[in-house]
Amino acid sequence: MRALVTGGTGFIGSHVVRHLLDHKVPVRCLIRETSKRSNLDGLEIEYMVGDLEDAASLRLALRDCDMLFHVAADYRLWARHPEEMDRINVEGTRRLLQAAADAGLKKIVYTSSVAAVGRPRVNTHLGIGQESLDPTPDQLVGPYKRSKFAAEKVVRDFAQKGLPIVIVNPAAPIGSYDIKPTPTGKMIVDFLNGKMPAYVDTGMNFIDVEDVAAGHWLAAQKGKIGERYILGNKNMTLKDFLGRVARISGLPAPRFQIPYAMAYIAGALSTGLSYFTRQEPAIPLDGVRMAHAPMYYDASKAIQELGLPQTSVETAIEKAVQWFRTHGYVRK
């Protein structure tokens, strides 16, 4: 069975490609002319130049394929033109799934995000998110979260019409090949470069990116059509997470907690300045707003129904630290 992978040159996508090759699945990657292929160097895969905004290129890329792993997404915590995220994440997904439906694919796995999963309100706090919950409007902080939830609704509509599609919702992945890096990876890089002397009182669900890739394959094999699966592992406070990064890297852990109000002001100033400099803010305001409440999720459904692996977060951190250090992300 041949699989088409979108976003294969990225962090999660490159691991999905490797996992498919490990299972002897021939892989074709949809890439743009400007895509950097370094994450896939040395792998025996087929490249097809195309774009999520070009329906003809999508139909051509899907020719002779049996499976589709739609991993590509515009993932940023700040965008000068937020409508770009809707064009890629929502309309691009709609265009690709229509092409997949026309091609008669046997199985499709769509990479969503825990950003599209709701969390229950427990008294004055948000509880642990589960697949059965959709986010309330106040939980959809920023254009990225809004676009991913809107894209999921498009995916569900296609599933109801009979498209054989399964949704996976990765938490915060950690590991090698985080080339951009992602916001989670940037947090590790900033720590390794001594740019994180303090932390905010928040938390996330972390998972080894290789387990995320395995979860995609397992979803294609065992996932129920139209359902979604949280690909996560351990809920941890940011303080605890950075403490483990400190122990693994041999660097001191940050000792000071920043009050949320101070972090908010810093994020507002940094983000406001970005509209003049046209550079990504050092402290995206949407990232600060997301951190106002811990982002915890329950991955038990994927563990029980798919057999999602649960590699220790420490192992994932070790791989990330080593990769960033050996690939020039850390000052010597």
Domain that holds residue 229: 3-177+206-234+297-311
Cis bond before residue 181 (omega within 30° of 0): yes
Rounded distance, CA 280 to CA 218, Å? 36
Residue 82 domain-assigned (yes or no): yes
**Would you say 267 and 283 are in contact if contact means Cβ atoms under 8 Å apart?**
yes
Q: Is residue 189 part of a domain?
A: no
Over the stretch 299-325, which tens digit does the pLDDT of each residue have? 999 999 999 999 999 999 999 999 999
Cβ atoms < 10 Å from Cβ of 197: 11
Q: Is residue 259 part of a domain?
A: no
| Residue 292 covered by a domain | no
Average per-residue pLDDT for the chain: 93
Where residue 285 falls (left for φ over 0; alpha for ψ -120 to 50; beta otherwise) is alpha
Is residue 317 situated within a structural domain? no
Domain of 9, CATH number, reads 3.40.50.720
The pLDDT of 36-57, averaged and rounded, is 94
Q: What amino acid is encoded at 149 in this protein?
A: F
Domains identified in the chain, total number: 1
pLDDT level of residue 125 (50, 70, 90 thresholds):
confident
List, for residues 148-204, the tens digit of each pLDDT value: 999 999 999 999 999 999 999 999 999 999 999 998 999 999 999 998 888 888 999
The predicted-structure confidence for 284-293, as pLDDT tens digits, reads as follows 877 887 788 8
Higher pLDDT, 30 or 264: 30
Whether 159 is in a domain gets the answer yes
Helix, strand or coil for residue 267? helix
| Beta sheet of 27-31, edge-to-edge order | 46-49, 27-31, 3-6, 67-70, 107-111, 165-170, 228-231
Distance CA 13, CA 209 (A): 10
Is residue 137 a part of any domain in this protein? yes
Residue 17, class by beta-carbon neighbours within 10 Å (0-12 exposed, 13-18 middle, 19+ buried)? buried
- Residue 192 domain flag: no
Q: Cα–Cα distances in Å, from 170 out to 44, 143, 275?
A: 26, 18, 30
